[in-house]
Each structure stands twice: as C-alpha cells, then as structure tokens.
Chains A and B, each alone.
Chain A
C-alpha cells in the first residue's frame, strides 16, 4: 500500500485514512499486539525501580535517554 500523503475521505465515512488502514489490518495487528504485551511482561517492564535500562511501560513516553518518541532529541 502506498503512503497516505494527504487526508482524503475513506470508505468508512468520517474516519481518516490512517485510522481506516489500521482497522483494515485489525486481525494481524491483534495477534502482534498480544505478542508485544507478552514480551513486555517477560521483560518485566513494570518495575521502574529495578535499575534496568528499560523503564516501565507506563513511563514509556518519559524514557529520557533518547527513547522518547514525540518531539524527542536524537
């Protein structure tokens, strides 16, 4: 699928094209998301006090060592 370089109406009225594309991939994404969640539990990312390089998932956007996603430095 080519990149969606400008907003345009999707077949699903009122839904932007990126959202529609995500929804179209729901079945594959659901399995992937489940696996990612299991991997996070296996990595024990819920314990930010353990000194690990990995911070808690719920702190993900606050991981400061250049792992922030939005408006991050590189």
Chain B
C-alpha cells in the first residue's frame, strides 16, 4: 500500500485553524523551547488580527474554524490586549490558548469563560519531571504552573494538557498517565522532545526503550481511559481502519497549511517552528505578510514558496518509501529541516520516536494482550 496512499496530496487553500502569536515574550525559559525572541516583548498590533479576521471569518461560516493563540506565552500579552486581538473575529470563530499556566488566576479564568476560550496547558508530569521548565531567573516554575491549573479547576474550566518527554523509556509512562489522571485534564498529548529551532539537544533514543514507553502508556491508559489520549486515539483509529479495509480514508486528502501569523503579520506555513529563522537557501521561510496580502491569497499561492515546493517533494518521497505513511502522513517540515537541513529528505528522529515506535508500541501491547479464549 505504501505507494498507493491517496491522502496528503498538496496543500488545501482553506485551513481549519490559524496559529497567532500575540507576543513573542514568554515569562518562562524552558530548556527545550524552540522559539527565538522569547525574551523580547514584541506585541501583535490589532491591525494584524483585523487582517487575519478578514479572511478567516469566511472559513468559519462554512465549517468549524479556530484561532490558536500561541506565543511566546500568549497570556503575557495581557487580558486587555488579547481581548483587543480577539475583537475583530466573528462569533463563529473558536479561540484556543496554549499556555504555560503560570499566569492563570481568577481574572484570567473569568476572561476564558467570557470569551469561551478553550485552554490547553503545558506541564511535563510530576514536579521532578519539570526540571526543564524554569523561570527567566532559572527557578523551578512548577508551583506556579500548579497554581494556574488549580484556578482552572476552581472555575470548572475544562482543559487539555501537553507533556514534553525528554527521555522516553519504560517505567515513565505509567507514572505520567497517573499524574494526568489526577490533574484532571480531559485531553492529553505526549510530545517527545524534538531537535528544532533553538533547541539543539539530540533526540535520538534506543528504539526498544521508546517502543516500550508507548506500549506501557497504552497499558496505563487502558486501566482507566478517562483521558482522550491523542497518541492512543490516533493509533487505534488507524489500526481499526486497517482491519476494516478503510485505511486509505484516514489521512486528510490534503495537507492543512496551518498558517502561523507572527506578531508582525508575517506568515509561515506548515511548521510554526520555522518562524523567526533564516536560511541562506530558503530565506526567512515566510510566504507573505497579512498587512500587505490577504491571508487567502497567501494560502492560494503556498506551493510557490521555494521551501514548500521542496517539502511537497519530500512528502511524495515519504509516500513512496515509508510503510508507515498511511499512519503518519509524512515527516513534519520543521523536523526535516532542523534535523537534516532540507525538506526533501524523509525519515527523521521525530518520525521514529513519535510515529513509528508509537505504532509499534501499540501493536506490541495488542499482541501481548490478546483476549483469553473461554
């Protein structure tokens, strides 16, 4: 089937969401962060939000559409400025924040409720697992993170969580899952740390360790599946489709362009991690600026950006050569670039850690836990 997968051909001109950077500033200085400029407070002018809204309000009229406020730390922009950035968007647009939670208090919770903001927090498990999440002064941020999450719980605001795992191995997954059950998140995503952006730490791990990590996570989840666990859900969805003979329907037909709009209005497609970087061969990776070109026009011409044309050739190489393509959809652009320096390569360490070994771990668990015949 490897050469026959029909999804992920080209880029759709209509995204399902846009990532917005209300400020470059983050009040934390996590060791693995990929973002440049995160010590600077460069705020997005309202004119940028107005320009984006002019295009995306039309998308929201024909389907579900969301704005993900990312950063830096989006709450570092302040409630007043964030509200001003929300204002140009129509009522049909959903707003999401990905936050380190350290600034969340009762006033922010009231803001989330008033603006119907969906909240996802970043926390890496129990306190000792958060050693990389530190303040600008180098002090542990965990107490502040927990205070923010406590505020969400006090206000009955449902939340998701993202957990970065730097060293996936057996023994860790069960601990993490138990922690997030207790934390009370509804959705959980596990991000194995990646080599990208300004984070140059290696992400190569022993295959057996990573596979066993995922297998153990499935076992832990299965004992109490209250959490929508992104990696398990997707793996089982794919496996079920293979067994039903519908595996080719799983991938989206085209790639979502995932426009990231930086604070200055510049647009980077497909991989927000490329924003703010410059390469002798590829330039600054931007495909335009919403202050001078409508977002819809930028998206319509996406494939004309040289690095994106090269990336699309890379996706086709993945399709032709990788037996996991139907599950994965192709290596992510930022991983190709930051690991290999170009976009038409195929397999990355991120592929191995977060796609290949994930599926193998789920299959190992299934193989080792067949129902007992009666």
Contact = CB atoms under 8 A, between A and B. Distances in A.
Given A53-B118, A62-B64, A26 B233 contact: no
Contacts of A3: 207, 211, 352, 356-357, 360
Contacts of B242: 19, 22-23
B195 interface: no
A45 B17 CA distance: 20
Contact of A53 (B186, B243, B369): B186
Contacts of A40: 228
A4 interface: yes
Interface stretch (B47-55, B136-144, B156-164): B156-164
Contacts of A33: 236, 239-240, 243
B2 A43 contact: no
B186 A4 contact: no
A16 B330 CA distance: 16
B363 interface: yes
A37 B363 CA distance: 17
B366 A73 contact: no
Contacts of A70: 8, 251-252, 255-256, 328-330
Given A7-B321, A15-B1, A69 B234 contact: yes
Interface residues of A, number: 53
A28 B239 CA distance: 11
B15 to A, nearest CB: 9
A73 B260 contact: yes
B158 A64 contact: no
A64 B371 contact: no
A36 B236 contact: yes
Contacts of B359: 18
Contacts of A5: 347, 356
Interface stretch (B82-90, B268-276, B280-288): B268-276
A64 B326 contact: no
B365 interface: yes
B277 to A, nearest CB: 15
B233 to A, nearest CB: 7
B102 interface: no
B365 A65 contact: no
Classify the secondary structure of B's interface with A: mixed
Interface residues of B, number: 83
Contacts of A54: 158, 160, 186-187, 228
A43 B240 CA distance: 20
Interface string A6-38: 110000000111110111111111111101100
A39 B8 contact: no
A65 B363 contact: no
B236 A32 contact: yes
B226 A43 contact: yes
Contacts of B260: 73
Nearest to B97: A65
B80 interface: no
A53 B363 contact: no
Contacts of A51: 116, 158
A65 B237 CA distance: 19
B258 interface: yes
A73 B236 contact: no
B66 A18 contact: no
A47 interface: no
A35 B211 CA distance: 22
Contacts of B17: 62, 64
Contacts of B236: 29, 32-33, 36
B96 A24 contact: no
Given A29-B363, A54-B186, A65-B68, 6 more contacts: A4-B356, A7-B2, A16-B323, A53-B119, A69-B329, A74-B191
8 contacts: A3-B357, A7-B323, A15-B1, A25-B239, A51-B158, A54-B158, A63-B187, A67-B189
